[in-house]
Amino acid sequence: MIETTLERGVGLRIRPWLGIAAAASFVVASFMALIWAPADAVQGEVYRIIYVHVPSAWLAYLAFVVVFLASVGWLWSRRPLFDAIAVASAEIGVLFTGLALVAGSIWAKPTWGVWWTWEPRLVTTAVMFVMYVGYLLLRGLSTDFQRRATRAAILGVILVIDVPIVHLSVLWANSLHQLPTVLRAAGGPALDSSMLLTLMVSVAAFTLVYAYFMSARVAIELVRQERLWIRT
């Protein structure tokens, strides 16, 4: 497991810088979201939760794609690092998918008049959350490292199909959820330039937080794998 030790050492060197960058960008994003960006002409101040909801939803997508890529990496090479990346991204994905659902519900109450409605985007996102949890539960069903990692990797490859389903659900069916406001099929982003800039900074800040969490969680998983390897 010399390779694992070296990989963990690289993570230790970059993690403090990731933490500083994540914290600094989060402070800037918070200032822009709460103070600098103007209120929405229709929704007023409540729209500001977009700066939490959208970045969280983006990370839900990203985390699942990383699980997919790491799962392919494990099936191809059987390197423990890929399994560590997959489980770390799945756990962080649960966090941000849950945050996206909570933020969406808080936004829905003043906008739609209800905390929850069975509309396509909310339902498919809830399914994504359950998939993440199911993936993690599957990993706990076996104590054999190789078998557990392989089964989880196969599931990780399959479950990524929910990402485009969630994203396109508002286009495929009648939905209360607003249509895409940034990546639109026709025309530019449907946001004021200052709102768009604030949203992009928020997405960048959340992504750096994800990277920091990943660095820390992968390192923990590599230590756990190394101890398991020594015992066996």
* Residue 142 confidence (pLDDT): 80
* Residue 67 confidence (pLDDT): 98
Fold classified for 2-231: Four Helix Bundle (Hemerythrin (Met), subunit A) (1.20.120)
Query: Is the pLDDT assigned to residue 30 strictly greater than 70?
Result: yes
Query: What are the phi and psi torsion angles at 39 (to 5°)?
Result: -70, 150
Query: Is the pLDDT assigned to residue 176 strictly greater than 60?
Result: no
Query: Is the pLDDT assigned to residue 174 strictly greater than 80?
Result: no
pLDDT tens for 3-28 read 455 455 556 678 889 999 999 999 99
More confident position, 121 or 19 = 19
Query: Is the pLDDT assigned to residue 127 strictly greater than 90?
Result: yes
Mean pLDDT of the chain: 86
Buried b / exposed e over 113-147, threshold 16 CB at 10 Å, is: eeeeeebbbbbbbbebbebbeebeeebeeeeeeee
Query: Is the pLDDT assigned to residue 179 strictly greater than 60?
Result: no
